[in-house]
A and B are shown apart, each in its own frame.
Chain A
């Protein structure tokens, strides 16, 4: 990346000596166009551990509520898909997608891209994975879901007896590892290590 243009203002930029451990920002609009990432092995470790936290987070109930000896518990994906029961299928799709499914897809894409780079294989697939990653990264809202779980806990704890389950804790760990791997991973480094 020696000659580039700013994505936000279009200014043409010449970098005399590119160093991928530095952060580069546009001199006119000050928006960052290169952000250094950590090594791919570290990101891969984080992403795989995040995937391990995801499995209990999605299958175990996040919390259970007790009103007059009736117990009701819910898992992450059940909660968002419940909109479909009330006849609001579009919200169910958007909420389930942005809260749970797209973060999972991003994670799998990161793992695939890094393994492809480390094994030095399939550049064509890598390119389409990269484009999907860039398209979908805007729609990952897992941390918003976590905040809303806390809000719902406070709201519900006033109404009835509430019990937090293991699904919630693994979801918290999932979000921590997921965002660490997102922050550490710089997809623009894919093109440097690999000679396409």
Chain B
């Protein structure tokens, strides 16, 4: 099926040597996957700006991840929505919403909300910290596992927006002046910021940094 060539690693001592784009002085277009010579600045195929690695990848990822972690605190403490029914205000946080579903016997919906708005953001941030620590502590044997985790968070990332949309629908639907109104709570904006920042952080993280020093030797003629 797959005929791949030229990647047979040279076995030198007990280390394996791989050729990557930096060691062979090439630049890969991150959009279309076209390979260029080192001095190229724009991609021939799609005219995207070329970088060997995403510029300031680690710095920006750290910044966005820390910002997302900080926003996660108010997102869980402040109320997500404020229900005003018969002139009595009542706020409900994310966890209270989950507990409401479990108390009423809707275990499936409760589990969906719990996974989407509590488990997913925390797992995403944990994995991002793990990936950043792999780069910083040069744990190259973890790198392949790290790429798999990266694909995983890339896939699940958007599902934590679920709670924002639920709040949007609840707030816009329940607008009955005298009987009941729902207002957006302060947690919504913090939670939205967490989700957006984690997505931007995954965009900015360059997984190739994890593989950087696995003896990417220059080609020996």
B169, A12: Cβ atoms closer than 8 Å: no
Kindly state the separation between the CA atoms of A176 and B109 in the bound complex, as whole angstroms.
Answer: 22
- Is there a chain A Cβ closer than 8 Å to B220's Cβ? no
- Is there a chain A Cβ closer than 8 Å to B66's Cβ? no
B45, A83: Cβ atoms closer than 8 Å: no
At the interface with chain B, which of A41-49, A52-60, A104-112, A137-145?
A137-145
The 8 Å CB contact of A13, one of B6, B168, B175, is: B6
For the complex formed, measure the closest distance between the CB of A72 and the CB atoms of chain B, giving whole angstroms: 6
Known: A8-B207, A74-B172, A88-B189. A151 touches B26 (CB 8 A): no
B2, A24: Cβ atoms closer than 8 Å: yes
B165, A82: Cβ atoms closer than 8 Å: no
The secondary structure that dominates the A interface is: mixed
Closest B residue to A2 by CB, please name it: B35
Kindly state the separation between the CA atoms of A66 and B199 in the bound complex, as whole angstroms.
Answer: 38
For the complex formed, measure the closest distance between the CB of B91 and the CB atoms of chain A, giving whole angstroms: 13
Tally the A-B contacts, defined by beta carbons under 8 Å.
214
Kindly state the separation between the CA atoms of A124 and B24 in the bound complex, as whole angstroms.
Answer: 30
A14, B4: Cβ atoms closer than 8 Å: yes
The 8 Å CB contact of A91, one of B24, B112, B176, B188, is: B188
A88, B184: Cβ atoms closer than 8 Å: yes
- Is there a chain B Cβ closer than 8 Å to A134's Cβ? yes
Restricting to B142-190, which residues have a CB under 8 Å from any CB of A? Answer: 143-144, 147-148, 150-151, 158-159, 161-166, 168-176, 179-180, 183-184, 188-189
A9, B211: Cβ atoms closer than 8 Å: yes
- Is there a chain A Cβ closer than 8 Å to B67's Cβ? no
- Is there a chain A Cβ closer than 8 Å to B93's Cβ? no
A188: chain B residues within 8 A (beta carbon): 32-33
- Is there a chain A Cβ closer than 8 Å to B21's Cβ? yes
A152, B18: Cβ atoms closer than 8 Å: no
B162: chain A residues within 8 A (beta carbon): 144, 147-148, 151
B174, A156: Cβ atoms closer than 8 Å: yes
At the interface with chain B, which of A29-37, A114-122, A177-185?
A29-37
- Is there a chain B Cβ closer than 8 Å to A95's Cβ? yes
Kindly state the separation between the CA atoms of A100 and B203 in the bound complex, as whole angstroms.
Answer: 21
Known: A83-B184, A149-B169. A91 touches B46 (CB 8 A): no
Closest A residue to B100 by CB, please name it: A155
For the complex formed, measure the closest distance between the CB of B70 and the CB atoms of chain A, giving whole angstroms: 17
**Per-residue contact bits, chain A 1-45, to B (CB 8 Å; 1 contact, 0 not):** 101110111111111110000101101111101100000000000
- Is there a chain B Cβ closer than 8 Å to A167's Cβ? no
- Which of B112, B173, B174, B192 has the most chain A CB atoms inside 10 A of its CB? B173
A88: chain B residues within 8 A (beta carbon): 184, 188-189
A27, B166: Cβ atoms closer than 8 Å: no
Kindly state the separation between the CA atoms of A158 and B180 in the bound complex, as whole angstroms.
Answer: 14
Kindly state the separation between the CA atoms of A80 and B188 in the bound complex, as whole angstroms.
Answer: 12
For the complex formed, measure the closest distance between the CB of B212 and the CB atoms of chain A, giving whole angstroms: 8
B188, A15: Cβ atoms closer than 8 Å: no
A30, B144: Cβ atoms closer than 8 Å: yes
Kindly state the separation between the CA atoms of A124 and B46 in the bound complex, as whole angstroms.
Answer: 9
> What are some 13 contacts across the A-B interface (CB < 8 A)?
A5-B28, A8-B151, A11-B211, A24-B2, A25-B2, A30-B148, A31-B147, A31-B151, A86-B184, A98-B161, A99-B165, A151-B166, A154-B106
Q: Chain A: residues with CB nearer than 8 A to chain B?
A: 1, 3-5, 7-17, 22, 24-25, 27-31, 33-34, 63, 65, 67-68, 70, 72, 74, 78-80, 82-83, 86, 88, 90-91, 94-95, 98-99, 124, 127-128, 130-131, 134, 138-139, 141, 144-145, 147-149, 151-152, 154-156, 158-159, 187-188, 191, 196
